[in-house]
Amino acid sequence: MPANSSSLSGQGQTVCVTGAGGFIASWIVKLLLEKGYSVKGTVRNPADPKNSHLMELEGAQERLTLCKAHLLDYESLQEAIQGCDGVFHTASPAIEGPEQMMEPAVTGTKNVMMAAAEAKVRRVVITSSIGAVYMDPNRSPDVVVDESCWSDLEYCKNTKNFYCYGKTVAEQGAWDLAKKKGVDLVVVNPMMVIGPLLQPTVNGSIMHILKYLNGAVKTYANAVQGYVHVRDVALAHIVVFETPSASGRYICYERMLHRGEVVEILAKFFPEYPIPTKCSDEKNPRKQPYKFTNQKIKDLGIKFIPVKQCLFETVKSLQENGHLTIPKKAKGCENLIRARQGQTVCVTGAGGFIASWIVKLLLEKGYSVKGTVRNPVDPKNSHLMEFEGAQERLTLCKADLLDYESLQEAIQGCDGVFHTASPVIEDPEKMMEPAVTGTKNVMTAAAEAKVRRVVLTSSIGAVYMDPNRSPDVIVDESCWSDLEYCKNTKNLYCYGKTVAEQGAWDLAKKKGVDLVVVNPVVVLGPMLQPTVNATSIHILKYLNGAVKTYANAVQGYVHVRDVALAHIVVFETPSASGRYICSERMLHRGEVVEILAKFFPEYPIPTKCSDEKNPRKQPYKFTNQKIKDLGIEFIPVKQCLYETVKSLQENGHLPIPKLAEDSVKTH
């Protein structure tokens, strides 16, 4: 069955979730409510503010009941579980010491199983842990750890690993009781669970990440762990509950990472924090992970959110919930910022999608910025003055690409120019000449001002349009679009971009300007500007019902932050030269809608191709190695798509439906 969290398969069913206010449990409750279930959530105190987030979930007012219950109080559990079709047992007793936790954990699980048996529920799903699976010193590193493996209790006891000991004993006890009482039991064994917090407090697995960001630890451990997104864990619980054939245990993780890899990912996304760079154990070799398999849960339709996205969302959630302050400056970046102080650069078309991000990152790096806009007081440019450092170091200059004198004035006194703007012309056929003239004006003004370097935003459209190129040829920066082909196929965008870029290179040679060009593919990600740009509209139409099918087409995608950063990196790197293709991955439109549907099943996303007669188009082979050699590590395309949609929602361009119409119609 497909793992779709929105289908209303739970209508008319009541389930109990123990410890409903917890990290994983809150997500289980959320997804159950979205699927139409009625939920009885056990908490120690329904009036406690730490549980108030549960009643704010969609559908909670109508279908969520918070029941006062304690795992060690059998009668309270009995009352909560009575009349339920199923139980999700996620809770652990609140005991301070790990040694004191074991007996209550076992007793709590026993009480839940007994109450479930008495209530004759259809199925119990227990949240166990990978800690009940992998702790075995006698297992060879070559053995693939699967659901048949169990932690060695003596080893856990001898190494004082009370967490793994308790989880193993509790799960084994549950299986014994299930057999004796005839309870249909399924167990989920997640690894380190991270992702956005729904609850107001920081849980243990998130604390592990928080300490790397807030300076609480100066080194990272020589250790390996598996990571998984909390939404995937919650969805796994529901999928194994709803799938009649599901049985036994299910290991739940996306990927194994060494702690060194974790801090590297965090440092890339959040360089403003004092993230450790040294291992606490540098004498010994880096620990290698066990080999695990997650195939069993994947066979039920779970497609895991990438671990990089898990880490990114975890930190954003910590920031948004006030657990992690956003520093004005990263301590480790102060020297870099000082080095850039005193440098002034010009960004043309500063209010645009890519340009806004370039301005933002330049200000964060300490540059003074002169941004050209057609009208500095236009509200669509007001977001620029809200950036950190804008009041002190950003000047908005009234300029037009076709008005040479206005550009000359803006660029005068600058160390560099980032030319991102295109003239605002309604008719694409009439856009080409102004685009060429605008680029010529920028290059001439830059030459006159003797700027150190010009970075031009071109496009992949100036690279790949060539019908004579074999599909086996890897498209790189040496490739150019064929102008005759662009003209004959009326691809005026690619024609204009190619002519404008070629003109820029000719002028650079004549005027002695140091020019570097960035050629991005389709640029996605969060919008800083208030209006929706063309590439975001491409995604918006798949969500708002404007299109019913997707095209039989392939495109490259890249995150706007990576494109902006690429511009700055090629400006700052003395050895940078020529063109730089900027792409994370090629995707068929069918793959795009599949990713969107997984993240946002509540929208009427197309499932059919507009061209089903012909074979699915295959992508050209591109290389992005040249820009990667300068240190750019691309944000995964799945994360680009996710953040694009969240940004559309947050900026009011895409309403958040209470229920997906398609789901309602099918049930």
Q: Which residues are catalytic?
A: 497
For CA atoms 302, 305, 307, 310, the dihedral sign is negative
With H, G, I as helix, E, B as strand and everything else as coil, classify residue 240.
helix
360: phi > 0 → left, psi -120 to 50 → alpha, else beta; which?
Answer: alpha
| CA angle centred on 642, ends 641 and 645, rounded to 5° | 85
What's phi and psi for 474, nearest 5 deg?
-80, 120
Residue whose token pair is 């159950």: 32
**Cβ-contact 626, 581 below 8 angstroms:** yes
**Cβ-contact 519, 459 below 8 angstroms:** yes
Token representation of residue 323 = 């657990």
CB atoms closer than 10 angstroms to residue 563: 26
CA-nearest of 35, 23, 449, 458 to 239 is 35
Torsion of CA 611, 616, 621, 622, to 10 degrees: 40
How many residues appear in the chain?
667
Query: What does DSSP say about strands 224-229 and 255-258: parallel, antiparallel, or unpaired?
Result: antiparallel
CB atoms closer than 10 angstroms to residue 658: 10
Helix 428-449 with 404-411: angle, nearest 10 deg: 40
Q: Amino acid identity, residue 301?
A: G
CA-nearest of 349, 309, 282, 324 to 567 is 349
For CA atoms 296, 301, 302, 306, the dihedral sign is positive
Instruction: Kindly state the helix (H) or strand (E) to which residue 162 belongs, with its residue range.
Output: helix 162-181
Distance CA 14, CA 12 (A): 7
CA 320 to chain CA centroid, Å, is 15
Q: E strands of 118-270, at which residues? A: 123-127, 144-145, 185-190, 192-194, 219-220, 224-229, 248-252, 255-258
**Cβ-contact 115, 81 below 8 angstroms:** yes
DSSP per residue over 507-573, as a string? HHHHHT--EEEEEE-EEES---SSSPPHHHHHHHHHHSSS-SEE-S-EEEEEEHHHHHHHHHHHHH-
Percentages of the chain per state (helix, strand, coil), in multiples of 5: 45, 15, 40
**Cβ-contact 533, 357 below 8 angstroms:** no
**Cβ-contact 171, 128 below 8 angstroms:** yes
Q: Amino acid identity, residue 71?
A: L
Distance CA 520, CA 522 (A): 7
CA 216 to chain CA centroid, Å, is 25
CA-nearest of 645, 667, 663 to 600 is 645
Q: Please name the residues in contact with 501: beta carbons below 8 A apart, sequence gap of 6 or more.
A: 439, 456, 458, 462, 517
